[in-house]
A and B are shown apart, each in its own frame.
Chain A
Amino acid sequence: MNMELRTLETKAEAVLAEAYETVRDALPGGASVAKLRAEAFDAFRATGLPHRRVEEWKYSDLRARLKDVPAFAAKRSDADAEAVVASAGEAYEAVERHRLVIVDGHYHPELSDVAALAGEGVTVRPFAEALAAEGGTLLDLPVVARDDAAVGLNAIFCADGLDMMIADGAKLTKPVEIVHVSGAEAASTAERILIRAGAKSEAVILQTFVGGVEGTFSNTLTDIRAGKGSGLTVARLQAEAAGTTHIATATLTLAEEAHAKLICAGVGSGFARHQSFVAFEGENARADLLGITMVRDRQHVDQTLVVDHAVPHCESREIFKTVVDDGAKGVFQGKIIVRPHAQKTDGQMMTQSLLLSENADMSLKPELEIFADDVQCAHGATSGQIDEDLLFYLRARGIPEKEARTLLVLAFLSEAVEEIKDEIVIEAFENRIRSWLSAEE
């Protein structure tokens, strides 16, 4: 027991502690996994849920948000799960794709295109199976992600999810959509997704989070490992129902000469945190991180990222755009770390926010920690409103006010949207953006 001061345990913390005691013996994985879970649980007992006095979580007080935590969801029958998926609607309806289905945190192979993926050189197996086969090392994450509270909670509870291995040299002909749907009864989920892209493989992966109700608490973790020379796009769209709480962590590890693009569009949940941890492990790799966040009403959406340049000659690019309306709150925290020997690092981070109402709130925290001397790093952060002169110009050409505002918001987001490059993703995201804008009173 350490002597650290901490506040009284909240109800949510007590429920989570009790949940662990109840399920610990039933959680998958051998002794090495159980040990890791126990360590993560001890850390949770010591610090509790992250709150505003934890620097990394200062703008997103999860302890204050979570009044209670619903029970972890049981796995549904395939038929039941199929109905939940059907009712959630599709983000990529018109797109030819392979689909992998996760409902309430549980992977449903029978509803997924496993055989078709095998034909493309992609092996998919349930997470528990992978855990049994590989043990605790499967849970290894980049250094910068290890101490995070939500990552720790996922390590304690992750029991289901999937492990996707893309064979060396496989070039997928169609995108793969991993659809995460939460059902209509409030439940907690803590699935883990592994995406391991083999050397020189190429793939586009679409991750969609939808559904849920008031009280749903999702804490998903996607562990992406881009192999040597691979080209990987992972586009995450978070559009869960307004009452949900969602922590979506993505870790990205890049081997030599890998080029990965991690895109995160957030329009959903009452309280959402998208956190991305990027680690360069091989030279001459490049990571592009793009973020598009749109919030309104009383929503709170946080985009947090840490990019760890641990080796020389790598490039990182971050463009994050946030549109905040009504009394909503947006958060951006971006940290670039350049380790002492990571010379010739090129890191550029830009974050911009557009506030559409007087009560809109945005917190921006860019950070650079540079310990090497021959690097190029820059960051920029701006926050502004719609320019009345631009609006007048458009209206003077006959474009009604609402349509003109839509054009200007699209224009604000365009820099991030264009960088996606993939037409399928761009179209799906633009549709989302337009429907968000047209839903305005």
Chain B
Amino acid sequence: MLEIKNLHARIADDGTEILRGVNLTVKPGEVHAIMGPNGSGKSTLSYILAGKTDYEVTDGDILYNGESLLELSPDERAAAGMFLAFQYPIEIPGVATMTFLKTALNAQRKARGEDELTTPEFMRRVKEKAAELQITMDMLKRPLNVGFSGGEKKRSEILQMALLEPSLCVLDETDSGLDIDALKVVSDGVNALRSPERSFLVITHYQRLLDHIVPDVVHVLSRGRIVKTGDKDLALELEKNGYADYVGAAA
């Protein structure tokens, strides 16, 4: 599904090196967690996967279903099945949430050569998925993410994910800013999407999220490299001992 090979990347503006040889393979249906201290490159990795041009890949490759993603634009990657749930979902005043959802869904369908959804069919899907995530029609009537609480924004991200049905979901600190109840709703939403064909890359600081979204593999990212890989118990160990060991190991 996803193969990251010796990925090196830096900030395009100032050349600061962030990723220094990341290697990672995610198979269909697997959930991988990436943990690591602040500044280790976790969010950068998620942005590079989604195709943000603020970063420059200097070496290595990202293969998605066997083909390199590097030359694809963000929208082409999305149409190919990539989805990034943003750490800080963006407010866009003036863009109605429903218009946005429909435009995105139909743009992806069009890019894949599928027919656009009719409005009734689209509405049916939105209502069904929104109910599962406790998103009210009132929220959907607002401009995109405008006036949403932190929890509502994260639920809105998961709603988008559920509607767009990607094959690779990258969740960038989806747990940040969530209280315990919201964390449960969001996690249930994610778990409902788990399937043998769909893979997840879950980026988080804290083990807590992984109690709800149980990973198959846990990686520790430190100073731009994966320094340790294990099963879900690795997350528990990190919660107990902190990242100190790994920060040292990478130096």
A residues adjacent to B (C-beta < 8 A):
389-390, 392-401, 403-404, 407-408, 410-415
Contacts and interface: CB of A to CB of B under 8 A. Distances in A.
A396 B51 contact: yes
B44 interface: no
5 contacts: A398-B108, A399-B75, A399-B104, A411-B143, A414-B94
Nearest to B104: A397
Interface in B105-151: 105, 107-108, 111, 143
B78 interface: yes
Contact of A392 (B74, B94, B111): B74
B164 A397 contact: yes
B103 interface: yes
Main secondary structure of the interface of A (DSSP, over half): helix
Given A398-B79, A399-B75, A401-B75, A393 B107 contact: no
B230 interface: no
A396 B94 contact: no
B93 interface: yes
A100 to B, nearest CB: 34
Contacts of B74: 392, 395-396
Contacts of A407: 95, 99-100, 103
Nearest to A410: B94
Contacts of A395: 51, 73-75, 78
Nearest to B81: A398
Given A403-B107, A407-B95, A407-B100, A397 B90 contact: no
B171 interface: no
B124 to A, nearest CB: 20
Contacts of B160: 397
Nearest to B161: A397
Interface residues of B, number: 30
A396 B95 CA distance: 16
Contacts of B183: none
Contacts of B89: 393
B52 interface: yes
Contacts of A404: 75
Given A393-B86, A394-B92, A413-B94, 20 more contacts: A390-B90, A390-B92, A392-B53, A392-B74, A393-B89, A393-B92, A394-B104, A395-B51, A395-B74, A395-B78, A396-B77, A396-B84, A396-B86, A397-B160, A398-B105, A398-B108, A399-B75, A400-B107, A407-B103, A410-B95
A27 to B, nearest CB: 48
B50 interface: yes
A147 to B, nearest CB: 38
Interface in B37-87: 50-53, 73-75, 77-79, 83-84, 86
Interface string B155-167: 0000010001000
Contacts of B105: 398
A310 B50 CA distance: 57
B94 A411 contact: yes
Contact of B107 (A399, A411, A413, A414): A399
Given A389-B90, A403-B107, A396 B78 contact: yes
The 7 closest A-B pairs by CB, nearest first: A411-B94, A398-B78, A414-B94, A398-B108, A395-B74, A397-B104, A393-B90
A398 B94 contact: no
B100 A398 contact: no
A397 B105 CA distance: 8
Contacts of A396: 50-51, 74-75, 77-78, 83-84, 86
Given A395-B74, A403-B107, A411 B50 contact: no
A398 B89 CA distance: 16
Interface in B162-192: 164
A393 to B, nearest CB: 5
A396 B164 CA distance: 11
Contact of B78 (A397, A408, A410, A415): A397
Contacts of A397: 75, 78, 100, 104, 160, 164
B12 to A, nearest CB: 12
Contacts of B108: 398
Contact of B103 (A393, A401, A403, A415): A403
Nearest to B170: A396
Contact of A411 (B52, B78, B79, B92): B92
Given A393-B86, A407-B103, A398 B75 contact: yes
Nearest to B93: A411
Nearest to A389: B90
Contacts of B73: 395, 400-401
Contact of A400 (B75, B83, B95, B99): B75
